[in-house]
Copies of this chain bind each other. A is one copy, B any other.
Amino acid sequence: MEMDELETQSGGQETGTSTADAHQHEHHQQVINRLARIEGHVRAVKKMVEADTPCPDVLVQIAAVRAALNGVGRVILEDHLQSCMVEAVEKDDYAQALRDLKNSLGKFIG
């Protein structure tokens, strides 16, 4: 039930500010693989909590998941700069792409 909510909440295509990316990203499959690993890592952390693993050990694993998320975010950003932005500039249509990027950079970096 909660999962359904999340699917809807995080699907985001409907509320997104941009249209779907038609072009390829260099690390597309690597990003998917990393996210699959992060998903498994979060599941493992949940099992640690269920098994009453000591809090300090759980916190260290949560920090590791966060570091992995930052890593995959950086790869997505680099791919984005290489493909989406370069393409937008070449088409002389980069104003909106740049606005989107600045906006999401602000949310990603904080």
Q: A residues engaging B (CB < 8 A)? A: 2-3, 6-7, 9-13, 16-22, 25, 28, 31-33, 35-66, 69-70, 72-73, 76-77, 79-80, 84, 100-101, 103-105, 107-108, 110
How many copies of this chain sit in the oligomeric assembly? 2
Contact B32 A59, beta carbon cutoff 8 Å: no
Chain B residue nearest to A6 (CB atoms) is: B40
Query: In the complex the two chains form, is B32's CB within 8 Å of A39's CB?
Result: no
Q: How far is the CB of A30 from chain B (nearest CB, A)?
A: 10
Identify the 4 closest CB pairs spanning chains A and B, nearest first.
A56-B104, A18-B54, A10-B44, A55-B80
Residues of chain B with a CB closer than 8 A to A2's CB: 33, 36-37, 40
Given contacts A37-B2, A39-B43, contact A108 B59 (CB under 8 A): yes
The interface residues of chain B lying within 8 Å CB-to-CB of A40 are 2-3, 6-7
